[in-house]
A and B are shown apart, each in its own frame.
Chain A
Amino acid sequence: MDIKYTYHTISLITAPKLHTDLLWDLIMLFVAISALYFVAIFIFRHFISKTSKRTDQVRKQLMPMVSAFLFHEQHAGTSEQIDYAHLKMEMRSLLKNKFHQKVLTGILLELRLDLSGSSLSKLFALYQDLGMHRFAYSKLRSWRWEKVSHGILELTKMQVAESYGFLTKFINDKRPTIRKQAEIAVVTLKPEGLDYFLDTTRYKISEWQQLKLLEVIRTQEDYLPPSFKGWLTSKNKYVVLFSLRLIKHFHQNDATASIIELVKHRNNQIKLEAIDCIRTFHMTLALETLKTIFWRCTAVVKIAILQAIGSLGTIDEIEFLKLIEKKEANFTVRSKALSAINLISPESVLPTEGILDTSSYKIPEDLHPKEIKEMPHEKLFEEQEVEETTTPMDTVQSISASLPLNDSIQEGSAIESEIDPEPKTNTETPKLNEIEVFFNEEILDREPGLAFERPLTVPDKTKDIEFTMDFLPLVVSDAKELISSGKSVAELPVVFEELKWESPAAEDKEAKKPFRFGLMEEALNFIPLVVGDSDTEDHESTAAKLENNEIDKLGLLDIDLDYEIVRTDMEKGIPKEEESFLLLEVEYEEIQVLPEERDIPKAITEFEVDYENILPVPRDMMNELDTEAEMSFIGETIDAQELPPWLLKELENVPSSDMAPEYLEDLEANFAPPKSVADFQKLLTPIPARKIYHKDIEAQMHLLEDIELFGDTREIDLLKELHLKAKHDIVRVRIERLLKRFSEPITDYADADRDQPELGYSLPSFSIFSELFLHCDTESKLILLKEIASVGDEKEVAFLKKLSQDPESQIREQAATALLKLEALLEDKKNMWETKTEVESAAINMGSDDYEIDPLINAIEVHFNQSLNIFDIGFDLALEEETPLVKEQKNDKEDDQIGSLWRSIKEFSQKLITKS
């Protein structure tokens, strides 16, 4: 068979010989493949377009349904509700198809981006209402990572919080896409998601992921960040890094120690982040650690450390920085060290690179100073600018050293240096007496006495003192005029304003002006002068000493001090003229401790102070007092109307001389009992008169005082007991007074009427129930009223009576019932108590010497409740069921009885045996 070739043999040309059929076969093959390819493309395209068309159709079908669901109103009409129900059924039937599910999911996810407000919330609700989340859950079970990821994304975007539990499982998934999607989902769905994620994640958290997570947290509403310092100890270094970033972001500066420790971390990223935190939170404590780790760090970390030292460091760190500058090989680090030095101490390192050596520069001799003076002003400054650029460093330093810190002064001095071409000759400090000073008329207008136009005559004291005039600003009316005048600084006319310093001894009458440095005279009245040792000098000498020495030392201008003198026993009989005080214009108060009590530390209230010798205040001072009330206390008479009500009440209770109790005679001799109300009024001062008791009374009186201060009706029982035990009349009287006080219903307390608007009437504040009643509803009130009868006591009687005015009938009725019950109970209690106390008092008296049997017998009386009626049976007769406890007690008693009988027989037999 002849082989057909695709070509004819040509001489000298050799080519591979191929079979033509094979070529045709190949052509056919390629045509087929290409045809297949195009068919496939056609089919796929057709499929895609068909799907797209179908999707559009379904979208068009579903979209109105979604709109109807989203904008459905629950209060719509019946027909609309029926339509809605039909629509829902139709939708559910449509969603059986997977394609429809897919389309609807797409619609909802797309709409999520376009909607906001209530519509968005409805959209989320609709997603779950239609059960779309279940389809998403089914995606989570897929083996295809993209499907799982899509499912997670869907659940996250549609805010399905209940999927949180499912999604947490994917946090440590092997597939990174799913893991990352799950991380975002967990953090998004619940606030505690971040905690869970940081606690459990074992994988790397990429920088991008960290940013995304931060973005999620940042956009969450009302997000309360946890304390991220808890994760600084995590074993996952990425968690530590992320935590550090979160700490910085949320400004949680409560992890100083942990952050400083993390500077030592082997991971450079963590190290850098920790250093950044240190800088942000200004943790100066970390400086030492930073210096320690510095030498073993990379250049990047070193630069970060130097930045931190620069911003946090003090002058102490300069040595360290200089050492780095010397030892460090890396140029960048060295440069950073220098900049850190300059940050700590500005301008301590000056530029050295490219600076010319100007030490050999000299000012040309032909440039005479006089020529400069004649030059126009503008030209002069132009030249100065040029010169400034080439000023040698040493000269600059010397000028800056001579310049004061104040900017304005610097400017002045700068002008001076600019004007003067020979700074060396002019910087000599002129003596003050060489300066001609004259005043400015503008200053005279204000203070004519303080400025003068004559050569200044310097006081003798300042003759030897040289004044450096650098600090004085040069006040020049016209700079041009000054330049044209060609005067040196020493020749310049200088404007001085003299501040007159006045010696306290000068006794300037101007000191009596009401204002002195913004202080009013009265402003210092409150200062008491406390003198340690009173027996060394009298008041006059003290005041004089103070005036002459102390005020002199302070160098204060004469400030009038008002003192109030209170004299002690030791100073009695040294009357002082009122005028002397007026001369001193000093009023002070001296509190003196009695000599024998000095060594005994006591409370202030225990000091015995004699107030009787308070000197009358001079009339001039009295005029300064503002109110009549104050005067009444200082004067001899007291207007009863001006007294506070509690004091008047006390006065009314004071017995007259005829009625004065005998106990007053027991008091020490230095206490004169008042014989009349007038005497009491005389004694009445803002500070009560002293009372000295015997030691045994003192303790009881202290107790009673405390009870009076802090006690209430609950102390009645205790007081009654104390009354029975009291041996001294003074104590008994006080107890009786307290008993009377506590027994009275307290209705006039200041706080009784507070916050009771809703009741319409005031409740007695002493009842615990009144407080409860103010803030509870009717039901609670009724419950409380039921409890009052069993829990309450006499305090609640007034309260219940008040409740009879309550606007609510239920409460009124319940209150009336409770009141009846309570009154009956109280009556019983009272009878029991009376019987008991009388027996107890009799028992106490039995122990005493003056024991009498008759009163005891008389005292034991049984009081029957008058209200009780034997025919009124308020209860049903029933067999009492014994509780196990009662039964047990009963058995014990019986056992005891049996035991005692057995014991007595046994003892009797033993006695017989022993006798025999």
Chain B
Amino acid sequence: MDNPGVVGAFYLLAGVTVLSSLAVFAVRNLLHAVVFLVLAFVGMAGIFITLSADFLAVAQILIYAGAVSILLVFAVMLTPLGDRNNANSLFVLPGVAVAGGFATIVALVAVATDWNVLSEDDLDARSFATTIADIGQALLGPYVLAFEVASVLLLAALIGAIVLVREEERA
């Protein structure tokens, strides 16, 4: 974990992710916000790679940057021009307070807790060569019920989305 490539990549990607998430909050135009959100997702995928989670990094790009972002853009397009600003509601100050407090608490807890982490050697041994086969085994082994339920959930979401936005046919 202590090689300079990973260290540099972590800080670079963390900076990109946090800054572009902030930009999602700050920019005025909703479509620009979507673009920055995609950048945040891609940065997050890079951070997944530093955690040697190659499969999930690619899946993250495929699902978030490829699919969810398109959905978001479409939703923005289907709503009227006047609503395409990224305006704030009345909750900005409470929001900032809650978010700041949350971030501070999480950071303090993360630093102060004495985590039961693996030793350096174990960490090196655990830099997963490839995770795909193991994830597949786990999904169809101990977690097969959840896997099946997830497929039912996806089907339900598919049908639900179609039913929701279907135009009633007028005779």
Q: Do A and B bind each other?
A: no
